[in-house]
Amino acid sequence: MYVELQNINKAFGDVHAARNVGFGIVRGVLAALLGPSGSGKTTILRMIAGLERPDSGDIFIDGARVNDVDPGRRGIGFVFQNYALFRYMTVFDNIAFGLIVQKEPAETVRSRVFELLALIGMEGMEKRYPAQLSGGQKQRVAFARALAPNPKLLLLDEPFAAIDAKVRKELRVWLRDMIHRLDVTGIFVTHDQEDAVETADEIIVTNNGRIEQKGSPQMLYKAPATPFVTSFIGNSAPLENYKRLKGFENGSGAATGVVRPEFVKIYPAVDGITYENSVEDAVVEDTAFRGTHWEVTLKIKNMTLPARYSLEKAPIAAGDRVKAFVYRLYAFDGDNVTLLENRNLDTHNGANRYSI
Amino acid sequence: MKRHSAKRIIPGFGISLGLTTSFVSMIVLIPMLFLAVQSTDAGWSGFRQALSDPRILAGYEVSFLCSFAAAGVNCVFGLILAWVLTRYRFPGRRLIDGLIELPFALPTAVAGIALTALYSDKGWIGSAFAAMGIKIAYTRAGIIIAMTFITLPFIVRTIQPVLEQLDGAYEEAGRMLGASRGRIFRKIILPELTPAVLTGFGLAFARALGEYGSVVFIAGNMPFKTEIAPLLIMSKLEQFSYDESAAIALVMLVVSFTVMFGINCVQSGAASFSKG
Amino acid sequence: MRKEVWIPCLLIAVSVLFVGVMLVLPLVVVLTEAFSSGLNAFLRAVTDPYTIKAMRLTLTATVAAVLINTLFGLTAAWAVTRFSFRGKGILSTLIDIPFAVSPVIAGLVFILIFGRISPLHPFLDALDIKIVFAEPGIILATVFVTFPFVARELIPMLEARGTDEEQAAALMGAGFVTIFRRVTFPHIRWALLYSVILCAARAIGEFGAVSVVSGHLRGKTNTLPLHVEILYSEYQFTAAFAVSAILAAAAVLILTARNIVEHLAHKEDDFNVR
């Protein structure tokens, strides 16, 4: 483990920002701390940086305990949420700052700054001031400034929060590439699951000061460990009593759970359905065009379920009566989550193989 | 003591706080404590004296009434000036804007003798009024004029930034809804300005109350008529009755602090109002 | 339509008249009175040895006030805005106190501390240290009266800007001097200059507090404003106005400098703080 946190606790008055937090991150990985605001993710990042001091627990970087090491000596690059670029310094001076502080010779500073300018694709802009840069450029400069002293660990606080949607997509890819190319370990904080899923190798989901789950984006999506992660990652809708749905009558424990839209298949009334007993009668409540598909809200037995519907099929509209088959859903039992498959799945698939 | 939870990563905490507290202690805290000790040393009798001697009471009356009047005059003219300076463009605007701070920069003694020369019976303005049988210098009117001069910037400079930030869209929205200009001013602009006007009024009042240099020359300093409280402190000192002057000072301090406290309340109230 | 024009005209006329009568006329009076007995009388009053002495003391007190209060203003602004600590509110209030205190009371306080009735008096007397009715008292009173000027200008400014940049610099291992010089100072330099100008103006013109502690020893503990008062009360009106003219000229100069600084600061703001 390159970065490791053990039993970290931290409270601000009555607010617990971290309760028994522990996790490790392997060298060279870009990890995301993902959670709603107030979940403690930023505090965890700031503790790793040394900007906050944990009430208890240990932080290790590269095998050494750093609790008592000054933030300036932890060998960390930090990118602030609003970049905190020095407004009265040029791009060049901003990037050079960390090197000058470490008393690098002027020639080294110069060549390193130009190397970084090339890396972030901003050659020729070294004389500009932060006020003359766009949001994306500011972020790149902040990134270069943090990287200039060659840190082995880069921490980023909400790196995409201040950037508009279009540039954001580009920057995610760019950041991911940079981290991997430079052999740096990176941790960033975000409240936006898209940021985390599209950028990170590994996601640590935080909630209420606790770590809910740690794993790859795919794993969090496919095998969420807690009800919170299930609801937080991906699209989902809560079900108050899934046992009322056909094929799930025998589920164990409490009857609450969530269903994702991709788990529900709609059969418009015109399609012939062979195995009628496995499908539900549903009413279309609402449809929304999403470019590549329809997003449909269904009412089944007084429960609201989301579904996706292909553009190729016969159009449906609010008020239509349709049939729906629920392939699977996540059932909650206390803190545990189980993926339940529809009991009639095999029969259903066999019977309807050819019905579109 | 519990260790502070937020780590102080920016350097210089110890030295800056140490220097600051020693400066504040030496220049403000200890002197103020001295005053408090001295004025209570004489016990209640000193206070009773300061609060019952008719000459001292008359001094308070002159100070309070004139300060109030001067702050009031400035509320009207300060509002007009701030409005004109932020809303209209006309030749000489920058000059007037720059001149507003003259009372801050001009030594009060200079202002005092200049105003006296101007408003005495032989002065340019005073003679005109004297012809109508009105005396200005050496009466309370003169005191009010000196106090108005000295406190003019306070009100203009507290209202001006608020007016500058007040979005023109507000007024336009009001106009689109068919409100008349007078109505827009009364219903939309004036409520926005109220906290600033109150703050400016308080600052001006507190300053006028303590003002000495510009007032003593024009006041004439007749006991019971035009003798201001700060002058009483001065003359008690010259008679070496330290207790009495300290007691008068303490009474005035209490009033000033109350006004300052009121200003703080107005400002934090306004801040929470505009946030909420 | 007609109403649209006459309201602004009326308001502008009122403003111009008010400023003219209240602010400009006093300045004009000072000048006309100063030269009413001719240029020679003016020059005689201005070059009078007592005037020169008073000028020197005014200058000393002003320089002292500016130096001390600038140093204090910087440390106070740093402590109050860059850190959170217990008692911050009380500290801020204490800094503001001199604003709320009448100059006469400020003078009185120093008489109480260092004067004849003070418990310190025997010690000071034995050591032959004179504070009240002497130059140190004048300097102390001037420092007290102008104490919050720099701090009050810098604190809101640094408060509004936050601590991000300093944190970033500290994280990169920069020390206090580097952070202050390269990161913080560029932000506050205009405000600092501006507040120093205001502080100097107030120090030059201070009358009430200085008047109390001076004891009116002519030629020994007179500042220029005190000298004006003495000349005036001795019915040397021309001389009083001549000395006043110097002070008024200084005031106008300071005002001009202040406006230039403000203008420059605005220009830079427009560029940098978007």
Please tell me the distance from the alpha carbon of residue B140 to that of residue B227, in angstroms, as a whole number.
9
A106-115, A216-225, A250-259, C20-29: range with lowest mean pLDDT: A250-259
Average pLDDT of the residues in B183-196:
83
Residue A309 has φ and ψ, to the nearest 5°, of: -145, 130
In the predicted structure, residue C4 carries a pLDDT above the cut 70: no
Residue B5 belongs to a domain: no
Question: Which range of residues forms the domain containing residue B213?
Answer: 53-269
User: How many angstroms separate the Cα of C106 from the Cα of each of B41, B211, C115, C145?
Assistant: 19, 12, 13, 7
Alpha-carbon gap: C173 to the closest alpha carbon of chain A (Å): 4
Closest chain B CA to residue C184: B10
Alpha-carbon gap: A34 to the closest alpha carbon of chain C (Å): 23
pLDDT of residue B42: 64
Contact assignment for A87 to C273 by CB distance below 8 Å:
yes
Contact assignment for B7 to A71 by CB distance below 8 Å:
yes
Mutate to test the interface with B, among C28, C84, C101 (most CBs of B within 10 A): C101
Q: At B171, list the tokens.
A: 């007024």
> Where residue B2 falls among pLDDT bands split at 50, 70, 90?
very low
Nearest CA-CA partner of B214 in B128, B106, B84: B106
Average pLDDT of the residues in B136-144:
93
In the predicted structure, residue A250 carries a pLDDT above the cut 80: no
Q: Does A80 touch chain C (CB under 8 A)?
A: yes
Contact assignment for C172 to A101 by CB distance below 8 Å:
yes
Please tell me the distance from the alpha carbon of residue A209 to that of residue A190, in angstroms, as a whole number.
15
Instruction: State how beta strands A303-310 and A321-326 pair.
Output: unpaired
Q: Across the strands, what pairs with A16? A: A11
Q: Are B145 and B74 in contact (CB under 8 A)?
A: no
pLDDT of residue A74: 87
Cβ-Cβ contacts under 8 Å, A86 against chain C? 165, 168-169, 182-183
Instruction: State how beta strands A237-239 and A293-300 pair.
Output: unpaired
Q: CA angle, corner C162, sides to C144 and B1, nearest 5?
A: 70
Name the helix (H) or strand (E) containing B154: helix B140-165
Identity of residue A224: P
Residue C94 belongs to a domain: yes
Mutate to test the interface with B, among C104, C166, C269 (most CBs of B within 10 A): C104
Name the one residue in this structure whose structure tokens are 């609790």: A67
Q: CA angle, corner C148, sides to C143 and C149, nearest 5?
A: 90
Residue B47 belongs to a domain: no
> Where residue B67 falls among pLDDT bands split at 50, 70, 90?
very high
Helices C185-205, C237-272: inter-axial angle, 10-degree rounding: 170
In the predicted structure, residue A226 carries a pLDDT above the cut 70: yes
Q: Which residues contact C253 (CB under 8 A, 6 or more apart)?
A: none
Let me know if C210 is exposed, middle or buried by CB neighbors in 10 A (0-12, 13-18, 19+).
Answer: buried
Q: Report how many helices (DSSP H) and strands (DSSP E) chain B contains, helices first.
A: 15, 0
Greater confidence (B239 vs B38) lies with B239
In the predicted structure, residue B3 carries a pLDDT above the cut 60: no
Mutate to test the interface with B, among A15, A53, A73 (most CBs of B within 10 A): A53
In the predicted structure, residue A354 carries a pLDDT above the cut 60: no
Read off the pLDDT of residues B147-168 as tens digits, 9 standing for 90 and up: 999 999 999 999 998 888 876 7
A181-190, A227-236, C145-154, C228-237: range with lowest mean pLDDT: A227-236
In the predicted structure, residue A46 carries a pLDDT above the cut 60: yes
Q: Does A102 touch chain C (CB under 8 A)?
A: yes
Handedness of CA C230, C236, C242, C244 (dihedral sign): positive
Average pLDDT of the residues in B131-154:
93
pTM: 0.84
Residue C29 belongs to a domain: no
User: How many angstroms separate the Cα of B40 from the Cα of each of B34, B72, B250?
Assistant: 10, 34, 9
Select from C237, C247, C255 the Cβ nearest to the Cβ of B102.
C255
Q: Does B169 touch chain A (CB under 8 A)?
A: no
In the predicted structure, residue B4 carries a pLDDT above the cut 50: no
Q: At C9, list the tokens.
A: 């005209």
> Where residue C208 falls among pLDDT bands split at 50, 70, 90?
very high
Please tell me the distance from the alpha carbon of residue B243 to that of residue B48, in angstroms, as a whole number.
11
Closest chain A CA to residue C188: A88
Select from A11, A12, A71 the Cβ nearest to the Cβ of B9.
A71
Q: Does C178 touch chain A (CB under 8 A)?
A: yes
Alpha-carbon gap: A79 to the closest alpha carbon of chain B (Å): 16
pLDDT of residue C1: 45
Q: Does C83 touch chain A (CB under 8 A)?
A: no
User: How many angstroms separate the Cα of A68 from the Cα of each of A75, C129, C171?
Assistant: 14, 51, 14
Cβ-Cβ contacts under 8 Å, B7 against chain A? 50-53, 71
Please tell me the distance from the alpha carbon of residue B192 to that of residue C181, in angstroms, as a whole number.
40
Please tell me the distance from the alpha carbon of residue A253 to that of residue B140, in angstroms, as a whole number.
88
Q: Write the DSSP string, A271-290.
A: S--S-GGGSEEEEEEEEEE-
Could you tell me what percent of chain C has a pLDDT over 70? 95
Alpha-carbon gap: C172 to the closest alpha carbon of chain A (Å): 5
Residue C236 belongs to a domain: yes
Alpha-carbon gap: A73 to the closest alpha carbon of chain C (Å): 7
Closest chain C CA to residue B117: C29
Residues 9-48 of B with CB under 8 A from A: 9
Residue B6 belongs to a domain: no
Q: At C87, list the tokens.
A: 């008692």
User: How many angstroms separate the Cα of B3 from the Cα of each of A235, B6, C272?
Assistant: 44, 9, 38
Contact assignment for B108 to C252 by CB distance below 8 Å:
no
Q: What is the DSSP letter of B82?
A: H
Taking chain A, what is the end-to-end CA distance rounded to the nearest angstrom?
49
Q: Half-sphere exposure of C192 toward its Cβ, with a 13 Å CA cutoff?
A: 18
Contact assignment for C272 to A82 by CB distance below 8 Å:
no
pLDDT of residue A355: 47
Alpha-carbon gap: A49 to the closest alpha carbon of chain C (Å): 8
Q: At C258, list the tokens.
A: 């202040």
pLDDT of residue A162: 79
Mean pLDDT of chain C: 90
Name the helix (H) or strand (E) containing A306: strand A303-310
Residue B32 belongs to a domain: no
Q: Does B106 touch chain C (CB under 8 A)?
A: yes
pLDDT of residue A186: 95
Mean pLDDT of chain B: 86
Cβ-Cβ contacts under 8 Å, C194 against chain B? none
Phi-psi region of A328 (alpha: psi -120 to 50; beta: other; left: phi over 0): beta
Query: Which CATH number do you get for residue B212?
Result: 1.10.3720.10
Query: Which CATH number do you get for residue C87?
Result: 1.10.3720.10
Q: At A7, list the tokens.
A: 């039993």
Alpha-carbon gap: B176 to the closest alpha carbon of chain C (Å): 16
Q: Kindly provide the ipTM of the predicted complex, given to two decimals.
A: 0.90
Q: Are A338 and A257 in contact (CB under 8 A)?
A: no
Question: Which range of residues forms the domain containing residue C211?
Answer: 35-273
Neighbors of chain C with 3 or more C-beta pairs under 8 Å: A, B
Please tell me the distance from the alpha carbon of residue B65 to that of residue B227, in angstroms, as a whole number.
12
Could you tell me what percent of chain A has a pLDDT over 90? 49
In the predicted structure, residue A356 carries a pLDDT above the cut 50: no
Q: What is the DSSP letter of A121?
A: T
Instruction: State how beta strands A30-34 and A202-207 pair.
Output: parallel
- Other CB atoms closer than 10 Å to residue A87's CB: what's the count? 18
Domain count for chain C, please give it: 1
Residue B40 belongs to a domain: no
Contact assignment for B107 to C24 by CB distance below 8 Å:
no
Please tell me the distance from the alpha carbon of residue A159 to that of residue A171, in angstroms, as a whole number.
9
Q: Does C165 touch chain A (CB under 8 A)?
A: yes
Average pLDDT of the residues in A310-318:
84
In the predicted structure, residue C100 carries a pLDDT above the cut 90: no
Average pLDDT of the residues in B120-144:
91
Query: How much is the CA Rg of chain B, to the nearest whole Å?
Result: 23
Mutate to test the interface with A, among C157, C171, C189, C273 (most CBs of A within 10 A): C171
Read off the pLDDT of residues A161-212 as tens digits, 9 standing for 90 and up: 878 888 888 889 999 998 999 889 999 999 999 999 999 999 999 999 999 9
Contact assignment for C113 to B34 by CB distance below 8 Å:
yes
Name the one residue in this structure whose structure tokens are 């009266």: C145
Neighbors of chain B with 3 or more C-beta pairs under 8 Å: A, C
Cβ-Cβ contacts under 8 Å, A72 against chain B? 9
Contact assignment for C179 to B115 by CB distance below 8 Å:
no
Q: Are A89 and A109 in contact (CB under 8 A)?
A: no
Cβ-Cβ contacts under 8 Å, A74 against chain B? none
> Where residue C28 falls among pLDDT bands split at 50, 70, 90?
very high
Q: At B253, list the tokens.
A: 């301090």
The winner for highest mean pLDDT among A43-47, A165-169, A236-240 is A43-47
pLDDT of residue B263: 86
Please tell me the distance from the alpha carbon of residue C58 to that of residue C50, in angstroms, as a whole number.
12
Please tell me the distance from the alpha carbon of residue A296 to that of residue A307, in angstroms, as a whole number.
5
Cβ-Cβ contacts under 8 Å, B32 against chain C? 97, 109
In the predicted structure, residue B174 carries a pLDDT above the cut 90: no
Please tell me the distance from the alpha carbon of residue B56 to that of residue B228, in angstroms, as a whole number.
9
Q: Does C168 touch chain A (CB under 8 A)?
A: yes
Cβ-Cβ contacts under 8 Å, B8 against chain A? none
Closest chain B CA to residue A67: B7
Classify B23 as helix, strand or coil. Answer: helix
Alpha-carbon gap: A86 to the closest alpha carbon of chain C (Å): 6
Identity of residue B224: F
Contact assignment for C173 to A78 by CB distance below 8 Å:
no
Q: Which residues contact A316 (CB under 8 A, 6 or more apart)?
A: A266, A268, A284, A287, A294, A296, A309, A322
Q: Are A157 and A81 in contact (CB under 8 A)?
A: yes
Alpha-carbon gap: A218 to the closest alpha carbon of chain C (Å): 34
Contact assignment for B256 to C229 by CB distance below 8 Å:
no
Phi-psi region of C173 (alpha: psi -120 to 50; beta: other; left: phi over 0): left
Please tell me the distance from the alpha carbon of residue B103 to that of residue C205, in angstroms, as a whole number.
10
A96-110, A299-313, C60-74, C199-213: range with lowest mean pLDDT: A299-313
Residue B184 belongs to a domain: yes
What is the interface size between B and C, counted as CB pairs within 8 Å?
275
Residue C11 belongs to a domain: no
Q: Are A193 and A206 in contact (CB under 8 A)?
A: no
Domain count for chain B, please give it: 1
Please tell me the distance from the alpha carbon of residue B110 to that of residue C27, in angstroms, as a whole number.
9
Phi-psi region of B2 (alpha: psi -120 to 50; beta: other; left: phi over 0): beta
